[in-house]
């Protein structure tokens, strides 16, 4: 292979991230002390991205809705998005429940709840008590707008953004200069993201090195059946369910996965979909989806449409039941599924959010001890990669589906972009230098 070809491949983000992941696993396994010290590298990358999320989500939602010209269109898009989210999440929960009952990954562990030390999960159980359905809806409204942005409360930021955008839309054409200025601000934020993404391989290295160093490869062997079940189930969900949805939309799932492979590898390495939200906003617009639809559906999906987390929650809950030899009738398991329909909502795209949702579910059930979470504590970080990647793909597909449903996607452009494959950061920067200084497709309305 020529040197120029090697350089070309090494310049691609997904290759760099994959190298970072492999190096992280090696360092964490062979040099655990060094691997433990690498944790700040992963944390710093997530922190860099998280500092940009609130302004990016605010600007994306406001610009998208304000340019719809019709408030009824915005409401229609929102309703269609929620309907799809509920459909996909329910299917994911049901698939997880069926698979865990067929495979029985927890059978034979014979764990006695009385001998479990719950000190390690105290932080999660404390958060679970604040994760009730009523608290979830009350938490949508922030105590202050500034507090929502300062604390990075994405659901609250989205809520305020929607209200603000509706107010701008009602004021009419005179707000156009302000919306254009906000659009320019958004493009500048995307420019910052592209700078930050250069350190993504380092973040992936730090995250994997710390995880393997802390929990060890042996943890994978101990919970191998559960891990294998979850990974195969998420793959089946992506291929069968999401693949079928994409076919109905007239596009290829495989080509879409190739198109977002950079984001998939970054998500796998960091176990966080937050890390690639800005890049996904850009790529879905360049795919031909209308900016208003992308700006509304994708950020909202990060909160309401966690397909991978839904699969994990049902499998993890019943795994604990099986490990502790607890008998649950079919109706009891359906009750668990019903509770999960509520507790799975509001899971952020960060590592550990699914664990809190699981703690909230167990806390609301009388038959499943919350102490069973200890069984998953060591392996949860490894399970996080599968559910994060599934969440990422699911939200990308959801955005395409709603755009297709609204006839707000340029199918010719979408097929052309998918045939080309992925965009690297240099291509994105060149494409952004159009006559208006905006992302392609910014002027389309629903």
How high is the pLDDT of residue 233? 93
Helix (H, G, I), strand (E, B) or coil at 103: helix
Q: Is 227 within 8 Å of 220 (Cβ atoms)?
A: yes
What the chain holds in terms of domains, given with CATH numbers, is 3-432 (1.10.3860.10)
Tell me the C-alpha distance between 425 and 279, whole Å.
9
Q: Is 315 within 8 Å of 289 (Cβ atoms)?
A: no
Question: Tell me: the pLDDT tens digits for 343-391?
Answer: 666 554 444 566 667 776 776 666 777 777 777 766 777 788 888 899 9
- Tell me which residues of the chain have a pLDDT lower than 70: 1-4, 69-70, 109-137, 215, 217-222, 342-356, 360, 363-366, 377-378, 422-446
How high is the pLDDT of residue 347? 52
How high is the pLDDT of residue 353? 60
How high is the pLDDT of residue 426? 55
Question: Tell me: the pLDDT tens digits for 91-136?
Answer: 998 999 899 889 888 777 666 655 555 554 455 445 545 555 566 6
How high is the pLDDT of residue 400? 95
Name the DSSP letter for residue 289: B
- Report the first-to-last Cα separation within the chain, whole angstroms: 48
How high is the pLDDT of residue 440? 37
Enter the tokens of residue 373.
């979470």
The alpha carbon of residue 210 and the mean position of all alpha carbons in its chain are separated, in whole angstroms, by 21
How high is the pLDDT of residue 108? 72
How high is the pLDDT of residue 442? 40
Q: Which class for 304: exposed (0-12), middle (13-18), buried (19 or more C-beta within 10 A)?
A: buried
How high is the pLDDT of residue 432? 53
How high is the pLDDT of residue 401? 94
How high is the pLDDT of residue 423? 63
How high is the pLDDT of residue 322? 85
Name the DSSP letter for residue 349: S
Contacts from 34-38 at CB under 8 Å and sequence distance 24+?
Answer: 34/209, 34/213, 35/209, 35/210, 35/212, 35/213, 35/214, 36/210, 36/213, 36/214, 38/205, 38/206, 38/209, 38/210, 38/213
How high is the pLDDT of residue 116? 55
CA distances (Å), origin 394, targets 190, 247, 441, 442: 22, 14, 22, 23
């Amino acid at each position: 292979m020529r040197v120029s070809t090697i350089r070309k491949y090494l310049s691609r983000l997904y290759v760099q991230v994959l190298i970072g992941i492999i190096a992280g696993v090696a360092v964490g396994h062979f040099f655990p002390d060094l691997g433990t010290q690498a944790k700040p590298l992963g944390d710093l990358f997530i922190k860099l991205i998280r500092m940009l999320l609130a302004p990016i989500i605010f600007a994306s939602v406001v610009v998208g809705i304000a340019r719809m010209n019709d408030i009824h269109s915005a409401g229609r898009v929102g309703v269609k998005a929620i309907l799809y989210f509920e459909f996909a999440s329910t299917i994911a929960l049901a698939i997880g429940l069926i698979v865990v009952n067929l495979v029985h990954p927890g059978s034979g562990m014979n764990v006695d709840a009385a001998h479990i030390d719950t000190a390690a999960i105290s932080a999660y159980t404390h958060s679970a008590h604040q994760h009730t359905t009523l608290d979830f809806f009350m938490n949508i409204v922030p105590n202050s707008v500034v507090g929502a942005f300062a604390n990075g409360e994405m659901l609250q930021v989205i809520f305020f953004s929607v209200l603000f955008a509706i107010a701008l839309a009602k004021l009419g054409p005179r707000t156009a200069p302000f919306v254009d200025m906000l659009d320019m601000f958004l493009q500048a934020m995307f420019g910052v993201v592209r700078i930050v993404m250069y350190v993504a391989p380092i973040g992936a290295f730090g995250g994997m090195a710390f995880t393997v160093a802390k929990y060890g490869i042996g943890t994978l062997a101990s919970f191998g059946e559960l891990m294998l079940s979850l990974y195969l189930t998420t793959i089946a969900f992506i291929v069968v369910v999401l693949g079928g949805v994409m076919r109905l939309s007239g596009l290829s799932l495989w080509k879409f996965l190739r198109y977002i492979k950079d984001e998939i590898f970054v998500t796998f390495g960091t176990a966080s979909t937050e890390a690639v939200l800005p890049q996904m906003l850009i790529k879905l617009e360049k795919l031909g989806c209308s900016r208003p639809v992308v700006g509304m559906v994708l950020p909202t999906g990060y909160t309401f449409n966690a397909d991978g987390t839904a699969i994990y929650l049902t499998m993890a809950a019943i795994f604990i039941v099986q490990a502790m030899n607890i008998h649950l009738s079919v109706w009891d398991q359906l009750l668990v599924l019903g509770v999960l329909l509520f507790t799975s909502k509001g899971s952020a795209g960060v590592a550990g959010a699914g664990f809190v949702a699981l703690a909230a579910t167990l806390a609301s059930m009388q038959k499943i001890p919350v102490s069973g979470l200890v069984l998953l504590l060591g392996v949860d970080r490894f399970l996080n990669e599968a559910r994060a990647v599934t969440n990422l793909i699911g939200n990308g597909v959801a955005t395409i589906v709603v755009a297709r449903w609204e006839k707000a996607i340029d199918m010719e452009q979408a097929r052309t972009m998918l045939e080309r494959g992925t965009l690297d950061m240099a291509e994105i920067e060149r494409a952004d230098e159009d006559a208006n200084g905006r992302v392609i497709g910014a002027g389309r309305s629903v």
